[in-house]
Amino acid sequence: MHDPSLPPTPPPAQVRNPLHGLTLEAIVTALAEHYGWEGLGERIPVRCFQSDPSVASSLKFLRKTPWAREKVEGLYLFMLRETRRAGFTSR
């Protein structure tokens, strides 16, 4: 049990989490640049990627929809692995 007179214990460092420190906007932008909106809409078939897509509309939807955000984060991690395997450095 935590002693209230002591400062709170900091959360464990996320050194190995490739998403740590990235904004959702940065992730969506990177995916749109890498796959294009059409490719992104094929991989994650949601309206914000398929009908008049933009970063702003995507962020609005993804912030309200946890399952879609998880798919976007998963695709971003896949893209990073794919890029590294191809011998390119990630941005």
Per-residue pLDDT of the chain (91 residues; tens, 9 = 90+): 556 677 766 666 666 788 888 999 999 999 999 999 999 999 999 999 999 999 999 999 999 999 999 999 999 999 999 988 888 554 4
Structure tokens that stand for 15 in this block: 């050194």
Phi-psi group of 21: left, alpha or beta (phi > 0 → left; psi -120 to 50 → alpha; rest → beta): left
Longest pairwise C-alpha distance within the chain: 55
CATH 3.40.50.720 corresponds to the domain 24-85: no
Q: Where are the domains of the chain?
A: 24-85
